[in-house]
Structure 1
């Protein structure tokens, strides 16, 4: 009965290409370790987050510092390792969503996507809409629960002076960043999904963008019809949420200009200089290529995903235009 949720299409496998859900890997594993996703486990994960915050506030030596990510003898090696660690932790984060959904009997769809210019591993949990809102919250927060537990474990190991302290400090920065990013609801994060479920919204992001578009220019007939058919609950929430949405995009635009572009350019220049200075018969030459590939991989993958999305939108537009053209030809050829 649900056609789409925030423009994530829900359609049978034999539906036309333009009506099929976005690509990815469908995962419907057997329910395993249900206790990990029980109410008790949820309370433990919430307490882990609270205790982690208390520790960072109470113990100055455990407070994260942005420079903690540079824990090796060179900045490039440090950032390369941090990038790989981030990939692994993000992958397990999504696995928690999948396992939590499986515990409720709901399959998931995994894919690599993006939010603006940020590379994102995404678990599409549209099937959760078959459940009451409160039962959706657990699977939606399972990833953040994992991040909170890892953050607390790293802090406790540092406090007990167990393990490589410099590496654990870098893990703390990575996991704290992962949790903070989930608060960026304008990027349709986990917190956004929970918010829409509890507020009873179905297409909040689309409704918000249509309201913002209408405030600066006239909507097309199709967009106006979509907005007119929007549920009243979505419209009521979007009227105040649109300002959060707009402010978030403004901050993202500032970050893109102030940090993202300069850091990407700096990485490219560093790789170029290292390759030019050292010949292909030396280890620094190949190390620079390897580290550069790892460091630039999030940017490259984001660009590939952007091109994939652009091609998909073009295919959908073509699929919509063809039937209209066929109807127009039939009308023109009909006897009068």
Structure 2
């Protein structure tokens, strides 16, 4: 989402526009929050933050008045001049301007909206809560059903464990993201899936850009419902694992796999509290604090700290371009970002390293003790899969850098 700011000086006009003819706007939404107004097109998920006078300017243009008339109205109403050409170019970059009335696209009804309402209806929610309560009761009755680290090693073959977790987590991840998507569709928002990167983690993300046009109190459930889906998955897997157990208490393979997936899902649930990685809890915090792009603000502030320490003031980025709320909160959140990255590294060394060593030991046993073709194949496939994952992570990193470099910054348009 783009923030359009109000500068003190007029920008140079790169190309002339006909300001004597009315412009045509696409169907836009306006959401007032404090001194700012979020404006956007929900059909293409393009949004920006305007000051209240900028939103009023846009509404006057949408009423059919010419840009010249609106500029005169603005000067009389707010006692300052407006660079109308720059403003119109910025709106055109965002896709808000249409060539003519025939080009204006009416926002079509969102698909799966009725399904979203059914999935989150009161009877459905009551059923979900009943399943979670039943699983909690079974865990309290038999502590062996609690998600625990030892559940991961249900097989002596590392590749069997890895493929089982990777493949069977796919529908569980889809359920998590599907809950996000359906909660957004329930509100009439277009949602989509994609891959992203958080540090060295590959993640699946649901795009809900239109959520910025929804009143703040209605945003929390679409953000948090994915974590609720994780709890529901853990509950169902635990109940299946408990039902699959034999009368003598032994675990068949189906029960062991269910408990393995329950533990893996719990890890994903806890990972959402790593807010500094822009997980679900990060967006909850951003919504509560009323920020626009807190993560980018914190990154810029930390980058400036580093350049000041290195006495490279020529590398400093302009923090005044940041949204005021992002700039204020970013002063202390930027330190949490550093601590968070340190925490991730620390937990990876404290918990991930022992698990990795265990995996290496299993692979070494296969090769060193000649456990047969199956053991060697297990080791080779495991290495190849991890190399492929590393290559995909590198691709996402390069794509992210390319998008940052080509991103158009729309600012300093009203003077």
If the length of structure 1 is used for normalisation, what is the TM-score?
0.72
Q: Secondary structure at the match of 2:147?
A: coil
2:222 is aligned to 139
The answer as to 2:162 corresponding to 1:79 is yes
Residues of 2 paired with 1:120 and 1:188: CA distance? 11
Alignment of 1:5-154 (within 5 A): 11=46, 29-33=111-115, 34-38=117-121, 41=124, 56=139, 59-154=142-237
1:80 and 1:295 in contact (8 A); partners too: no
1:228 is aligned to 320
Pairwise CA RMSD = 4.1
1:46 and 1:148 in contact (8 A); partners too: no
Segments of structure 2 that go 5 or more residues without pairing to the other structure are: 4-37, 39-43, 48-88, 96-109, 246-251, 410-415
Q: Secondary structure at the match of 1:97?
A: helix
Residues of 1 paired with 2:356 and 2:313: CA distance? 37
2:307 and 2:313 in contact (8 A); partners too: no
1:298 is aligned to 389
Count of aligned pairs between the two proteins: 300
When structure 1 is superposed on structure 2, of 41-50 and 190-199 the one drifting more is: 41-50
1:327 is aligned to none
| Bigger-Rg structure (1/2) | 2
Query: Higher helix fraction: Structure 1 or Structure 2?
Result: 1
Structure 1 residues 195 and 203: alpha-carbon distance in aligned structure 2, compared to 1, 3 A threshold: same
Q: State the shift of 1:83 in Å.
A: 1.8
1:97 and 1:123 in contact (8 A); partners too: yes
The answer as to 2:241 corresponding to 1:158 is yes
Q: State the shift of 1:229 in Å.
A: 3.8
Q: State the shift of 1:87 in Å.
A: 3.0
Segments of structure 1 that go 5 or more residues without pairing to the other structure are: 22-27, 321-336
1:333 is aligned to none
Residues of 2 paired with 1:245 and 1:45: CA distance? 35
Residues of 2 paired with 1:274 and 1:237: CA distance? 52
Q: 2:266 aligns with which of 176, 182, 197?
A: 176
Structure 1 residues 214 and 172: alpha-carbon distance in aligned structure 2, compared to 1, 3 A threshold: same
1:24 is aligned to none
Q: State the shift of 1:31 in Å.
A: 1.7
If the length of structure 2 is used for normalisation, what is the TM-score?
0.59
Q: State the shift of 1:86 in Å.
A: 2.4
Residues of 1 paired with 2:393 and 2:328: CA distance? 33
Residues of 2 paired with 1:274 and 1:75: CA distance? 10
Q: State the shift of 1:61 in Å.
A: 1.6
Q: State the shift of 1:188 in Å.
A: 0.4
Q: Secondary structure at the match of 1:107?
A: coil
Q: State the shift of 1:272 in Å.
A: 10
Structure 1 residues 293 and 104: alpha-carbon distance in aligned structure 2, compared to 1, 3 A threshold: farther
Q: State the shift of 1:222 in Å.
A: 9.3
